[in-house]
Amino acid sequence: MLKRLGLIKLATITTAFIASFWATSPHFIPEGLNPNLTGYTTFAKTLAESREEVETTRSYLLKPDRVFDGKTLHTNWQVLVQNDKIIAAGPQINQDQSQDAQPDSQTGNTTIIPLPGMTLMPGLIDAHSHVLLHPYDEVSWTDQVLKESTAERSIRAANHLKATLMSGFTTLRDLGSEGAGYADIGVRQTLEKGVIPGPRLLVAGPAIVATGSYGPKGFHEGVRVPLGANEADGHDNLISEVRRQIGGGVDWVKVYADYRWGPNGEAKPTFSVEELKLIVETARTSGRDVVAHASTDEAMRRAIEAGVKTIEHGDNGTLETYRLMAKNGVAICPTLGAVEAISSYRGWDGSEETVPARIIAKRQQMETIIKAKTNICNGSDVGVFDHGDNAWEIELLVEYGVSPLNALKAATSGNAKILRMEDTIGSIAQGLSADLIAVAGNPLTDITALRRVPFVMQAGHVIKKP
């Protein structure tokens, strides 16, 4: 039911090469790196090209069958990239900028890359990931938190990030290290230094939970275990914890507005409206937004009133609450993939005859979201299932009733706006970052085309090509 992606083995590279290569081009991932092979093609050629690239202007003319610019599908468009930016996009590119180009050749000023049969589009954005987790049918969440070292989880994250980038996702918002402290910030910094390949990463650090609400649980009072998030309550403690996480380097502050701590293990609100407002106000002072985990209607309403930017999951939200979200500009991230994955781990075979109650409820939730016209944030909760399978969430959005056009917008320009990065990513337009992918076919008529990604460009560097 769920694909298993093989881990890509990298050949051993000498320390001298790593030092000289990344020193000369800290964000360059060589075109010679073939994701289907084990290692780099030619040591000397790769090093020479990386050094040359620092001294010369990179210019590419991309010629697909069609272009989805983040909002609209165009035919007979081309896209011109120079260094890390999109220079032009449209039916007629200034030939003065590319007149010396040869098809797929480095001999001229501009390299033409033909992309026949493909749709060029912005790099995809997954706004709810967990790169420090791996699928729960491999190791349970509790065992990952309690038994896997931070070192192991960070090394796994490097593999997860590479698989994600190769599948066409060039930006992730990672919502909680789940017991690994600030390891996600270290992983982000490693990406920024060019040590490992992967998407642009926005992180939320440890996240914030109410005392006694979060796991792992089930131990007697004499046993202390590491928790999956940081506990804080009340005025002074919440301010201190938010500021501590800001100082630790988070891009977003995540709070659990409810959790499964009711009398019978059901989800119940954790923080008061006043506490949530305090978290939002403290984060906002630093220029950061707050994202809230919430599945109960009451916790959702409290989070909306407090001023959070997005709500994750939202399983039991009413039509009235979703309309309130739409009115207040709060987006919903329904995380359909995680629910489907967990249902399969518990034995669901995917048939309608045995469909679990939670899947039925999730379908009803999506009907309510669509009816209320609530802004949808594409976020899969990947880590619950395989990294690199992020496109599954977009497929499920379509399966659950979202139009292919709106699903693609959610994963590109829509998410970019939610992340306040619409001037950098999420669209194909002059001046934006050249984070681009090409998929085989037309995703507006076949959403599964998002699984066929022969071409990936990140910040103007060709990571993968046909």
Give tens-digit pLDDT for 289-319.
999 999 999 999 999 999 999 999 999 999 9
Q: What's the order of all strands across the beta sheet hosting 230-231?
A: 230-231, 208-209, 253-256, 290-294, 310-313, 331-333
pLDDT at 204 over 60: yes
Taking phi first (over 0 means left), then psi (-120 to 50 degrees means alpha), and beta for anything else, what does residue 394 get?
alpha
Q: What is the DSSP letter of 414?
A: I
Condensed to tens digits (0 to 9), the pLDDT of residues 23-48 reads 333 333 444 343 333 333 333 343 34
Cβ atoms of 357 and 342 within 8 Å: the answer is: no
* pLDDT score, position 1: 43
* pLDDT score, position 44: 35
d(CA 164, CA 387): 6
Residue 242 pLDDT class (50, 70, 90 cuts)? very high
Chain centre distance of CA 224: 33
Give the 3-state secondary structure of residue 7.
coil
pLDDT at 247 over 50: yes
The two structure tokens encoding residue 3? 């694909």
d(CA 384, CA 397): 17
* pLDDT score, position 57: 82
Q: Cite the DSSP H helix spans in 270-380.
A: 273-285, 297-306, 319-328, 336-345, 357-372
Q: What radius of gyration, in Å, describes the C-alpha atoms of the chain?
A: 22
pLDDT at 75 over 80: yes
The DSSP code sequence of 236-290 is: HHHHHHHHHHHHHT-SSEEEESEEE-STTS-EEE-S-HHHHHHHHHHHHHTT--E
Domain 205-389 has CATH 3.90.1170.50: no
Q: What sign does the dihedral 455-456-462-463 (CA atoms) show?
A: negative
pLDDT at 194 over 80: yes
* pLDDT score, position 94: 67
What are the structural domain ranges in the chain? 205-389
Least confident of 18-27, 202-211, 231-240, 283-292: 18-27
How many CB atoms neighbour CB 284 within 10 A?
14
Least confident of 95-99, 111-115, 294-298: 95-99
Burial of 266 (0-12, 13-18, 19+ CB in 10 A): exposed
Residue 109 pLDDT class (50, 70, 90 cuts)? confident
Q: Which of 257, 182, 175, 279 is nearest to 213 (CA)?
A: 257
Q: What percent of the chain has pLDDT over 70?
A: 85
Specify the residue for token string 């098809």.
103
Residue 96 pLDDT class (50, 70, 90 cuts)? low
pLDDT at 283 over 50: yes
Residue 56 pLDDT class (50, 70, 90 cuts)? low
d(CA 395, CA 449): 10
Condensed to tens digits (0 to 9), the pLDDT of residues 342-366 reads 999 999 999 999 999 999 999 999 9
Least confident of 99-113, 234-248, 265-279, 358-372: 99-113
Strand pairing class (111-122; 59-68)? parallel
Q: How many CA atoms, within 13 angstroms, populate the side-chain half-sphere of residue 295?
A: 15
pTM for the full model? 0.88
pLDDT at 5 over 70: no
Averaged confidence pLDDT in the chain? 89
Specify the residue for token string 């309510």.
368
